[in-house]
Amino acid sequence: MRRWGHRQTLLALALLLVIGGAVGWTLTHPPLPPLVIPTDTPAETRWDQWGATAGGSRYTEAAQITPGNAMHLEVAWRYSTGELGRRPESMLANSSSETTPILAAGALITCTPFARVIALDPATGREKWVFDSDIDPTLRIPDQYVCRGVSQWHAADQPPGTACATRLFLATVDMRLIALDAATGRPCADFGTNGTVRIDPGPVHHPGEVKLAGPAAIVRDTVVIGTMVLDNVRAQAPRGIVRAFDARTGRERWTFDPVPRDGGPDRDWHGDSRRTAGAANVWSVIAADPVLDMVYLPTSSAAPDYYGGLRPGDNRHANSVVALDGSTGRLVWAQQLVHHDIWDYDTPAQPTLVDIDRDDTRVPALVQPTKQGFLFVFDRRDGRPLFPIDEVPVPQGGAPGEWLSPTQPRPRLPRPIAPQALSADDAWGFTPWDRAKCRALIGRYRSEGLFTPISTQGTITYPAASGGANWGSGAVDPQRQIYYINTSRVASVITLRKRAAEAGGSVKLSATEDVSPMAGTPYEVKREWLLSPLGAPCTPPPWGGLTAIDLRTGKTLWDVPLGTINDRAPIPLPFDLTYGTPNIGGPVATRGGVLFIAASMDRYLRAFDMHNGRELWRDRLPGGSQTTPMTYTTGGRQYVVIATGQHLWFQTPRADQIIAYALPMK
C-alpha cells in the first residue's frame, strides 16, 4: 500500500472544506427502539445454491429480521478458516475472497480462495468437516486465487443418508471439477476418477491463463461450468468452451463454444472466425431453470478486449445471453447485448430468473444487468424482449485497422442504473482547483458518451469496465416483482499504444494502471482510472449506488448511495461522507423487507429497507467485504452470514473469518 504523501495532504485540506456539505453528521446515536420479533416466520428456510436458487433470486422467505428490528442485529458467531496462517505470502497476496455459503445436508458450506471446502453448524459455526483440494502452492495464478462458492445436487433415486445422495461440486483454479459427499466431505468415488474430473483447457500460454472460478450450474442431472480466460494477453486466446457433465459419473455430456465456427446462420464474423481463437467465455455465473431444462450463459467479449480489427463483425455469441437446452447443449435462443465489443463490456453477472405479471399473464422472465448500466428483461423461454430494445447509432472513428458496429442495443426501460456520458462540464472536485484539473483532464481524451471507440488518443469509458453491474448480480422480491442491484459509477481511460518490438507477453500492474500486451495485434493497451490530483474520481458522486426497479413497469423506485469514503480520508472524520464507493458483490432480499449488502470499499455489512432504500443498520467487518452475504432461518432464528477477506482489486485488508449475525435471543 502507498503511504500518505502530498496528494493525501491536499485531500485532507479539501475534506475540511467540504465538511459543511457532508451527508450525515452522526455524532450521537439515538436509543434503540424495543426489540419486537415477528412470530409468523418459517422455522427453517433454504439457500440451496450460490444465488439462493438455481435461477439466482438471492431471496429468502426468512422474515424474522424487519425494518423495525434490524438495528438490533449483533454477532451470533464467528469462524476462522485459518487460511492466513496456512498459505505462503505469494498466494495470499494474489487472492480474493468472493465466496457465498450455501445450506446443504444440514450444514453451512463455504469455500476459501484456495478451494478448501468447510462445513459448519449453521446455528453455532462449529466446524463439522473440511476438505482440502490441495492446490499446488507453487502454482502461479497470474490473476487471482478465488472460489465464489460450491453447488449441490440431489439424487432423486437415492434415499436420504445414502453416501453421495447429496453432492457438492467444487470447481478449482487448476481446472478440476470435484464431487463431494455433502454429509461427510469425502470425494464421491463414482464421479470421474475418485471424485475428480480434470478438464483440459487446450493450448495455454502459461498455467492459469484458463481457470475455473464460478460455482457450477445444476440443471436436473447435469453439471455445467464455464471458464475464466485471462484478458488481453493475446489475440489467439484460448476458446471459451462451456462444458456439461453427468452429475453421477462425471462423463462429459456436451460442450458449447460461444464463437460459432461452422459457418452456420448463427455465425456473425466477417471473415474467418478461426482468426480469433477464443474468449467469449463464461467467467461469471450461469443460471438454470430445471423446469424448462435450460441454462442461461452470460458470455464475455471476444479476444482481445480492446482491439477487434482481427475479428470484424458483431462477434456473436460474445457479449450475449445464450440459452441452451440443459440436456443436450443445443442452442435455444441468444440475445447479443453489445455488438463487436472493444470496451471489455462483458455480460458480467448471473441472470436472474423471476416470473413477471404482464397483461394478466405471468411470464417466466430473465433479468440481465450489464457493465454499461443497462437492464435487459427477456422471456426466458424464447428470448423475446419484455421491454422494447432499440438499435441506436453510436460514435464511429476507431483506431487504424479497427471494425466498429454502427449501432448498439439499448432497452427503452428500465432507465440506465449508472451514468453513461461524461463531459468537461460534468467534472467534479472537492475544491474549485481539483475540479478545474479534472475538467482539463476530461478535455484531453475522447469522451463522446457510451461506446466511444477506444483510441490512441485515450478514450474515457463511463461506466468503466468494472461496471455498472458486475458479478454480484441483483436480488429480486418475487412477490412484489422488484429487482435490487448495486453498481459502480466511476470512469477509466483506455489508451492504445503501438506495440514495441521488444514488448513482453505479460500484464504489467501498478496501483493506478495496468498495461496488457494484446500479442498478435498492432497495439498494447493501457488502462487507468480517471482521477483528480487528490486521488478522487473526476466523475460526480455517488461513486457507488443501490437501486430498486419495478420489473412490471420498468420504473425506478429508489436509488441511494452505497458506501462512505471515510476509509480513504487521511484524517479521521466524525461524520459519514456518503459519496458511495466502487463495489464488488451483490445484495440479498428477504420476505421481512430487509435488503443486506456489503460490497463497498469501506468494509461494512449493511441492512436497507427494501421499500425506500433507507439504511437501517451496519457493522464493520474485519477484512474486505467484496462478497455477497446470505441469510437463512434455522431453529427458529434468522442468521445473516458473510465471508470477509482481502480483495485483490480493491486492496482491502486481509481476514479469514465467516461471521453470522442475528437478533438477540430473548
Nearest to 35 by CA among 11, 64, 68: 68
* All residues at 6 or more sequence positions from 573 whose CB lies less than 8 Å from its CB, including other chains: 15, 22, 566
Q: Is the separation of the CB atoms in 660 and 626 below 8 Å?
A: no
Q: What does the alpha-carbon distance between residue 482 and residue 549 come to, in Å, rounded to a whole number?
A: 5
Q: Cell numbers for 636, please give them.
A: 427458529
Which pLDDT score is estimated for 380?
98
Which pLDDT score is estimated for 5?
47
Q: What does the alpha-carbon distance between residue 625 and residue 603 come to, in Å, rounded to a whole number?
A: 5
Which pLDDT score is estimated for 513?
67
The DSSP secondary-structure symbol of 561 reads: E
Chain centroid offset of residue 473 CA: 6
Total Cβ atoms within 10 A of residue 139: 14
Question: Can you spell out the DSSP letters for 379-413?
Answer: ETTT--BSS-EEEEE-----STT----SEEEEESS
Q: Cell numbers for 620, please give them.
A: 464493520
Which pLDDT score is estimated for 204?
86
Q: What does the alpha-carbon distance between residue 164 and residue 361 come to, in Å, rounded to a whole number?
A: 41
Q: Do β-strands 375-379 and 459-461 pair in parallel, antiparallel, or remain unpaired?
A: unpaired
Q: Is the separation of the CB atoms in 538 and 442 below 8 Å?
A: yes
Phi–psi pair at 487, nearest 5 degrees: -140, 155
Q: Positive or negative, the Cα torsion across 136, 139, 145, 147?
A: negative
**Catalytic site includes residue 200:** no
End-to-end Cα spacing for the chain:
45
Q: What does the alpha-carbon distance between residue 590 and residue 322 come to, in Å, rounded to a whole number?
A: 29
Q: What does the alpha-carbon distance between residue 356 and residue 367 come to, in Å, rounded to a whole number?
A: 10
Give the chain's length: 666
Phi–psi pair at 150, nearest 5 degrees: -110, 165
* All residues at 6 or more sequence positions from 89 whose CB lies less than 8 Å from its CB, including other chains: none
Q: Is the separation of the CB atoms in 24 and 613 below 8 Å?
A: no
Q: Cell numbers for 17, please give them.
A: 472544506
Amino acid at 345: Y
Q: Cell numbers for 387, please give them.
A: 421491454
Total Cβ atoms within 10 A of residue 236: 17
Q: Do β-strands 217-219 and 222-225 pair in parallel, antiparallel, or remain unpaired?
A: antiparallel
Nearest to 470 by CA among 342, 354, 344, 384: 344
Chain centroid offset of residue 15 CA: 31
* All residues at 6 or more sequence positions from 125 whose CB lies less than 8 Å from its CB, including other chains: 76, 77, 78, 79, 108, 658, 660
pTM of the model: 0.94
Q: What does the alpha-carbon distance between residue 285 and residue 294 come to, in Å, rounded to a whole number?
A: 14
Amino acid at 11: L
Strand partners, 297: 322
Q: Is the separation of the CB atoms in 286 and 353 below 8 Å?
A: no
Strand partners, 178: 170, 196
Q: Positive or negative, the Cα torsion across 25, 26, 32, 35?
A: positive
Kind and range of the H or E element at 89? Answer: helix 89-92
Q: Is the separation of the CB atoms in 297 and 324 below 8 Å?
A: yes
Radius of gyration of the chain (CA): 24
Q: What does the alpha-carbon distance between residue 666 and residue 538 come to, in Å, rounded to a whole number?
A: 50
Nearest to 598 by CA among 472, 499, 420: 472
Q: Cell numbers for 102, please give them.
A: 450455501
Q: What does the alpha-carbon distance between residue 497 and residue 459 come to, in Å, rounded to a whole number?
A: 12
Block means of pLDDT (10 residues each) for the chain, 666 residues, are 45 53 49 89 94 98 97 98 91 90 97 96 98 87 87 92 95 96 98 97 85 94 95 90 98 94 56 60 97 98 94 94 98 97 98 96 98 98 98 97 97 98 96 96 97 98 97 97 98 94 57 81 96 94 98 98 82 77 97 97 96 98 95 97 90 92 91
CATH number, domain 28-662, options 2.140.10.10, 2.70.98.10, 2.40.30.10, 3.40.50.12780: 2.140.10.10
Q: Do β-strands 615-620 and 604-609 pair in parallel, antiparallel, or remain unpaired?
A: antiparallel
Q: Is the separation of the CB atoms in 35 and 69 below 8 Å?
A: yes
Q: What does the alpha-carbon distance between residue 551 and residue 547 come to, in Å, rounded to a whole number?
A: 12
Nearest to 381 by CA among 363, 407, 402, 406: 363
Q: What does the alpha-carbon distance between residue 621 and residue 633 come to, in Å, rounded to a whole number?
A: 22
- Active-site annotation holder among 143, 344, 346, 576: 344
Chain centroid offset of residue 63 CA: 26
Q: Cell numbers for 622, please give them.
A: 474485519
Beta strand residue intervals within 139-292, DSSP E:
151-154, 166-171, 176-181, 196-198, 210-211, 217-219, 222-225, 228-229, 242-246, 252-256, 287-289
* All residues at 6 or more sequence positions from 609 whose CB lies less than 8 Å from its CB, including other chains: 67, 593, 594, 595, 615, 616
Q: What does the alpha-carbon distance between residue 216 and residue 253 come to, in Å, rounded to a whole number?
A: 15
Which pLDDT score is estimated for 402?
96
Going from the C-alpha of 315 to that of each of 115, 297, 357, 468, 505, the distances in angstroms are 34, 16, 34, 22, 25
Total Cβ atoms within 10 A of residue 589: 28
Alpha helices, H only, 380-521: 432-444
